[in-house]
Amino acid sequence: MDLLLAVLPLLVATALLGGTRLPSWLAGLAALISALPALLLSLPSNQTVVPVLVEETLQGSWLAWQAISVMLAGLFFHAATRLATVRQQVELDARSLFTLVIFIGPFVESAVGFGVGIVVVVGRLLTAGVPPLTAALLSLLSQTLVPWGAFAVGTLIGAEVANLPFRELAWASALLSVPLLLAWLPFYYRLAGSLPDADSHRRIRVSEIGWVLVAGGALVLVNRFSDPEIAVILSLGAVILARRLIHAEGGTGELRQDLTRAAPYVALCALLLVTRLIEPIGIALGNMATLQPFTEGPTFSPFLHPSFWLLAVGTGALIARRRALMPVLKETFSSGWQPVLVTLLFVILARFMITSQSAEHIALSLTALLGAQAVLTTPALAAAAGFLTGSNTASNALMMPVQSQLTASVALAPALVAGLQNVAGSAMTGLSPARVVLACTLTGGIDVRAVYQRASLFVLPPLLVLTAVAFCATLLA
């Protein structure tokens, strides 16, 4: 009975997200309600129910705010800095295509999140005359570094739920992501090989693999020695700039246009680097205001947080381009209210599952059934959560409590198991219904089933590679 109540929220979320057309927030609300019986039965007889519910809801809301603030600020930044769509066809050579899909898409996703990388990649591919179905598939392949999406808010939530240092989880995620970047390349080359300039794509494969290794190494180093929030922006930003200077891709006219598009991102990166690398400035901004309503909860320093600088640069862009504020606010709200509500509900659900010891019951049951091999289920469970929720924040909130309890049972490094959860769940958000529908809509309403038929093999790298890592870890434990 205890196990049934423990898994009930996961079953409800899975059934409603995967088997119905209900909005994600309604599925999250239903899962949250289904977690109440386990929470109530876990309380001592002398403890009042209402104060516990209020306390856990408030703590979950405060934890969710760390992600929600970046979500809303990131969507505001994107709406405020977006330029008018270029309607004339602009050619895209092999190197420029590789840069767009493998580097620029993840870069934009890191700065904004929520599938905005798909928007940017699809728009550029369509103006280059790429067929809609191929454009949709390539845009989904650009969702490769989602653990750092929207300044790594999902990884931050995962670290808080797993009770791990943020940088430790981000570093483990970076190490696990490098082989995935390489494993996805054959799928990219197969799609690129269907384009008219296929021969040039084949000629540059070796050099492009080298660039991916450089980007992966930079990602690992930045996560190890700097702030994970800016890891992708810093590492991929340097790679994109280096490729632009070395290969002079796109010609002078396109270079000027790219610099205009990139100006807000350059300003954002510069401000974030200044606040994090120049210690006196960071300390001064942190001392201006720091909020921590719960002793065991995270702190929030408004003037150090990425959300503040996203809002500041976005507002500056509005002023510089003489655009009205209200349309941007309306777009931010219409795009953001559902992701915000989904994140809030799933993070509160994570708090309920931890307090009721539901996660511990599930982990102990898996261990009793599979022994040390229980950790081999981590990538599949994480991938399922990422696919269903379409958010690495929600995926981590939903499954990280179980994975954290599993760690204690299988005697593996907590950061490794949490990293497997974070990377596998993030990888599958790119194939979630929400993002696939977004890509299909942007490319002119192509058939969702056609995309899934072609993209179904995209699931193999995260499942095979990460399960192999888990298997090797159990052998060495």
How many other C-beta atoms lie within 10 A of the C-beta of residue 442? 21
Q: In the chain, what percentage of residues exceed pLDDT 90?
A: 20
Closest-CA residue to 229 (of 24, 374, 70, 419): 70
Decide: residue 412, CB within 10 A, 0-12 exposed, 13-18 middle, 19+ buried. buried
Which alpha helices (DSSP H) does 142-250 contain, by range? 149-162, 166-183, 185-192, 198-203, 205-225, 231-247
DSSP codes joined into one string, 267-282 = HHHHHHHHHHHSHHHH
Mean pLDDT is highest, among 117-121, 182-186, 265-269, 346-350, for: 182-186
pLDDT, one tens digit per residue, over 213-228 is: 999 999 999 999 888 9
How many other C-beta atoms lie within 10 A of the C-beta of residue 308? 17
- Can you tell me the distance from the alpha carbon of 31 to that of 394, in angstroms, rounded to the nearest whole number? 12
Do the Cβ atoms of 138 and 99 come closer than 8 Å?
A: no
Do the Cβ atoms of 236 and 103 come closer than 8 Å?
A: yes
Both tokens assigned to 318:
């509005």
- Can you tell me the distance from the alpha carbon of 81 to that of 4, in angstroms, rounded to the nearest whole number? 49
- Can you tell me the distance from the alpha carbon of 56 to that of 32, in angstroms, rounded to the nearest whole number? 12
Query: What average pLDDT does the chain have?
Result: 82
* Half-sphere exposure for 311 (CA within 13 Å, toward CB): 13
DSSP-based three-state secondary structure for 249: coil
Return the exposure string of 40-69: e unless at least 16 CB atoms fall within 10 Å of the residue's CB, then b: eebeeeeeeeeebbeebeebbebbbbbbbb
Number of H helices, E strands in the chain: 25, 0
CA geometry: angle at 425 spanning 420 and 430, to 5°?
135
- Can you tell me the distance from the alpha carbon of 406 to that of 155, in angstroms, rounded to the nearest whole number? 18
Return the exposure string of 198-230: e unless at least 16 CB atoms fall within 10 Å of the residue's CB, then b: eeebeeeeeebeebbeebbebbbebbeebbbbb
pLDDT, one tens digit per residue, over 426-436 is: 998 888 766 77
Both tokens assigned to 440:
């299909």
Mean pLDDT is highest, among 163-172, 302-311, 424-433, for: 163-172
SS3 content of the chain, % helix, strand, coil (to 5): 80, 0, 20
Above 90 in pLDDT, residue 398?
no
Above 80 in pLDDT, residue 454?
yes
What's the pLDDT at 315? 92
Above 60 in pLDDT, residue 14?
yes
What mean pLDDT comes out for the span 304-325?
A: 87
What mean pLDDT comes out for the span 440-444?
A: 76
- Can you tell me the distance from the alpha carbon of 424 to that of 176, in angstroms, rounded to the nearest whole number? 9
What's the pLDDT at 444? 74
Among the residue ranges 18-22, 23-27, 249-253, 336-340, the one predicted with the least confidence is 249-253
- Can you tell me the distance from the alpha carbon of 92 to that of 250, in angstroms, rounded to the nearest whole number? 7
* DSSP assignment letter at 298: P
DSSP codes joined into one string, 41-89 = HHS-TTS-HHHHHHHHHHHHHHHHHHHHHHHHHHHHHHHHHPPPPP-S-
Do the Cβ atoms of 238 and 273 come closer than 8 Å?
A: no
Both tokens assigned to 98:
């590789």
